[in-house]
Amino acid sequence: MHLLFVADPLEDFKVSKDTTFAMMREAQRRGHQVAACEPRDLVWRSGGQVEAAVREVRLTGADEEWFTETRRVVRPLREFGAVLMRKDPPFDSEYFYATHLLQQAEREGARVFNSPRALRDHPEKLAILEFPQFLSPTLVTRDAQAVRAFHAEHRDIILKPLDGMGGMGIFRVGPDGMNLGAIVETLNGDGSTTLMAQRFVPEIAQGDKRVLVIGGQPVPYSLARIPQGSEVRGNLAAGGKGVAQPLTARDREIAQALGPVLAARGLLLVGLDVIGDCLTEINVTSPTCFQEITQQTGFDVPAMFLDALEAAVAAAA
């Protein structure tokens, strides 16, 4: 099968931990042909089809110079066995436009994972609102007074932007309310931007768990991203330490409840973020942590993903 990965520039990959690289490596191991492009390479012209200038590559097995480019060619997306949208956030206007081009490619016969429509329908902070039974107390608002009332009720809260990634823009405000006004002004732009507030979950000290769901089924291990020092954020990009561990009963309950629902909407790969017993985010754009879980537990996450991808392509044929 010929696979196209729509991703960030290959030269920017950190292959020691990159999940898209792990997917490519497993795909090549199985005999699939690997190609890559960036969202900016997607083109549609009237009378034609969505196509892209793609790089046909072969992985070398080396840490440095990890791929060789065999050729560059312009091809319609419908000619690939599968197209994998793996562009990292932020979900900005250009990402949004790319999903529309990918959806047009679907109309023309391309098989795209995750579904472009589902990517748009599941913003990673707000998608949790559909599953309130698994949340800590949560508020979504532009209203500074509503945030103040939420803090007065819960005393210890987390504030975050809806378009952040990697832990960017996350603040904790304790019972003393220190800097609450300044933080709200920073995040909501004097009422022009919506933000999220959640009751602080103290189990963050044991880690912000990434629970991967592939083809509707949970990977049996999570990666607990544990804050270091005085940091409140567990994100690996914010310096958190990743520790793989078996799913708890609650982790599995959440994954088994959400997995089939999200898979039915075209979300082949989902990363659920769970702190303690509470769901905090549903990541659908470019979920990661394949390599960390595989290296620490021996469970082959890339193999599970390729099994699910091959089954999904066969089912769509």
Active site residue 210: yes
Q: One of 26, 38, 208, 281 is an active-site residue; which one? A: 281
Q: One of 125, 199, 209, 251 is an active-site residue; which one? A: 125
Q: Which two tokens stand for residue 34?
A: 């690997």
Asked whether 2 and 80 are in contact (CB, 8 A), the reply is yes
Per-residue burial over 170-193, b = 16 or more CB atoms within 10 Å of its CB, e = otherwise? bbebeeeeeebeebbeebbeeeee
Active site residue 45: no
Q: One of 233, 235, 251, 292 is an active-site residue; which one? A: 233
Q: One of 87, 106, 283, 292 is an active-site residue; which one? A: 283
Active site residue 142: no
CA 280 to chain centre: 13
Helices (H), ranges, the chain? 19-29, 93-107, 116-121, 144-154, 180-188, 249-264, 290-297, 301-316
Kindly report the number of other CB atoms within 10 A of residue 61's CB atom.
Answer: 9
Q: One of 55, 210, 235, 292 is an active-site residue; which one? A: 210
Q: Which two tokens stand for residue 57?
A: 């590559």
Which DSSP string corresponds to 80-143? SSEEEE-PPSP--HHHHHHHHHHHHHHHTT--EES-HHHHHH--TTGGGGG-GGGPPSEEEES-
Q: One of 18, 26, 106, 273 is an active-site residue; which one? A: 273
Strand 2-6 to 33-37 pairing: parallel
Strand 157-161 to 195-199 pairing: antiparallel
User: How far apart, in whole angstroms, are the C-alpha atoms of residue 270 and residue 113?
Assistant: 11
Active site residue 233: yes
Active site residue 281: yes
User: What's the DSSP call for residue 248?
Assistant: P
Q: One of 225, 235, 251, 292 is an active-site residue; which one? A: 225
Give catalytic residues, as residue numbers. 125, 160, 210, 225, 233, 273, 281, 283
